[in-house]
Amino acid sequence: MKKLILLFVAISLISCGASKTVRVSKKVIKGDWVLSSINYSQTGTYNVTLFNDASKACFEGSTWQFVPNNNTGVYTINDASCPTGERHFVFTIQEVDAETGLYDFLLKPTNEKHKSETNQGFRLKLSALSEYDMQWQQSVNVGGSSFTINMNFSKK
């Protein structure tokens, strides 16, 4: 009877774990990346502050490190004309549609001890991920119209 209960608990834990798509994605995202470019779905000049932190110009060229075994990371703003330095975050990859493999990326800024002071996070669409490239998309509403911010990363 004890073996049956242990087997049931083990199966329950395995079935509640992350999907294969999420597990593979975490392996691919692990490591160091550069946010190489940011573009918008509509042409024009926009004053965008990303993650309630800095402008598009400050984020381009920033370096990012992802540690999937504890869902933490650090990004560093490198542009000397911006508030430079490390920023810590926690992240989660959530599968949205098992058939298409589409998934969301949740990012929450934190302090060095990975504690959020505001408990505010950002939901992004992880629209592309390979061994060398990654793209996030954030949809916002501008003047009643849908507007997409595309963040393009390259693996270091």
Tokens of 44: 């024009």
Q: What is the pTM of this model?
A: 0.80
Report the pLDDT averaged over residues 1-20: 42
**Alpha-carbon torsion (85, 23, 102, 127), positive or negative:** positive
Q: Which amino acid is at 48?
A: V
Cα 26 from chain centroid?
11
pLDDT of 83: 93
For residue 140, how many C-alpha atoms fall within 13 Å in the half-sphere facing its CB?
A: 14
pLDDT band at 140 (very low <50, low <70, confident <90, very high): confident
Q: Phi, psi (5° rounding) for residue 151? A: -110, 120
Domains of the chain: 20-155 (2.40.128.280)
Instruction: Please answer whether residues 1 and 19 qualify as being in contact, where contact means their C-beta atoms are separated by less than 8 angstroms.
Output: no
Position 108, amino acid? K
Task: Detail the DSSP E strand segments found in 70-121.
Answer: 72-77, 85-97, 102-110
pLDDT greater than 80 at residue 6: no
Percentages (nearest 5) of helix, strand, coil residues in the chain? 20, 50, 35
**Confidence band of 13 (pLDDT split at 50, 70, 90):** very low
- Are 135 and 150 spatial neighbours (Cβ–Cβ below 8 Å)? yes
Instruction: Give the Cα separation of 76 and 61 in Å (integer).
Output: 9
Which helix (H) or strand (E) is 31 found in, with range? strand 31-40
| Cα–Cα separations (whole angstroms), residue 63 to 36, 72, 99, 138, 145 | 9, 14, 32, 19, 31
CB-CB contact of 30 with 22 (8 Å): no
pLDDT tens digits along 81-114: 999 999 999 999 887 766 656 688 899 999 999 9
- In tens, the pLDDT along 18-71 reads 566 667 778 889 999 999 999 999 888 888 899 999 999 999 999 999 999 999
